[in-house]
Amino acid sequence: MFRRTLLASSIAATGIMMTEATTNEAAAQDDRENTLYFDLKDGRVVIKLRPDLAPQHVERIKTLTRQGFYDGTPFHRVIEGFMAQGGDPTGTGTGGSPLPDLPAEFSAPSKARYLRGVCGMARTANPNSANSQFFIMFAPAPSLDGQYTIWGQVVSGMEFVDKIKRGAGANGMVREPDRLLKAQIAADVAG
């Protein structure tokens, strides 16, 4: 009798461990599906995507990344102490993807703020005009809170973002800009 109880306990414990392992694997895969790699000239930047804040914008970033849209695009506007902006294949600040613009997914400042390493979506004066251009913050910018969509956060490699070539003048346009060499979703990368 004791042996059957022990065996049943072992099977139940194994089942629990297998369920936890399956859950952990699913969570890890979900994390990989929501992890973005930006390969820059100085190294890899890892960005945690935030579908909890901006599901449509995260989906757009993933779609464009998987299409290879961002590969080779310049960081055309880079302002010291503020942000690095990219995602425009023309490098003029006026270009975008052929996909339609997105409706705003602004977060309340109590939920998410523009701090160092936060990734946001660029737009025109129209709040519903985000398309492909994005920016990565060098420093906090409370004036952007609740005004631009937050879609991610740099979790490693911010030192490589800090090395992106800066622009000149008030608008920060860069001559001979650094480029995003390759963008990938972690789930699509072997290993």
Structure tokens at 115: 């701090």
pLDDT at 16: 45
- Percent of the chain with pLDDT strictly greater than 90: 82
Asked if 108 contacts 59 with a C-beta cutoff of 8 angstroms, the reply is no
Q: In the beta sheet, which residues pair with residue 26?
A: none
pLDDT at 8: 41
**pLDDT surpassing 70 at residue 10:** no
Mean pLDDT for the chain?
Answer: 89
pLDDT at 25: 52
Asked if 121 contacts 132 with a C-beta cutoff of 8 angstroms, the reply is no
Q: For residues 161 and 79, what is the distance between their CA atoms, to the nearest angstrom?
A: 12
Structure tokens at 84: 């690095």
| Confidence band, pLDDT 50/70/90 cuts, at residue 1 | very low
Q: For residues 126 and 101, what is the distance between their CA atoms, to the nearest angstrom?
A: 10
| Confidence band, pLDDT 50/70/90 cuts, at residue 26 | low
Q: What is the pLDDT of residues 80-96, one digit of tens each?
A: 999 999 999 999 999 99
| Confidence band, pLDDT 50/70/90 cuts, at residue 17 | very low
Asked if 55 contacts 42 with a C-beta cutoff of 8 angstroms, the reply is no
pLDDT at 27: 55
| Confidence band, pLDDT 50/70/90 cuts, at residue 174 | very high
